[in-house]
Amino acid sequence: MNKLYAFFALVLLTACGSPYDGSWKGVDEFVQDYRIEISGDEAKVIDLNEPLANMTCTITRGDDIAKLICEGDDRTTITDLILNGEIMIVKPEGIRESTFVKD
């Protein structure tokens, strides 16, 4: 019986999507020209000033933090995504954190 409840809970959570899903815009000065589009386990990082520099990344979710994993130019970048309601803190490795809000 517990397996049945777990199955229905998983179906419900999958159907409802993730709180990370959606369009996010940068609000800090450093990222105000960036957008992040998240859907399921994929994300697109969009540079509004250089449309050809857009990157497609994958998302892995943990209990409190999601990881944005982007590969390109012979390197992999891993970024922590910390959600607080309609605010997402983006913390790339070795770079200062930035704030994004739901668009």
Nearest to 21 by CA among 36, 34, 38, 46: 38
Radius of gyration of the chain (CA): 15
Whole-prediction pTM value? Answer: 0.78
Residue 94 tokens, joined: 């070795």
CA 55 to chain CA centroid, nearest Å:
12
Residue 13 pLDDT exceeds 90: no
Give 37-77 pLDDT, tens digit per residue: 999 999 999 999 997 888 999 999 877 799 999 988 788 99
Q: Rounding to the nearest 10 degrees, give the CA dihedral for residues 90, 17, 86, 55.
A: 30
Percentage of residues of the chain with pLDDT beyond 70:
83
* pLDDT of the residue at 16: 56
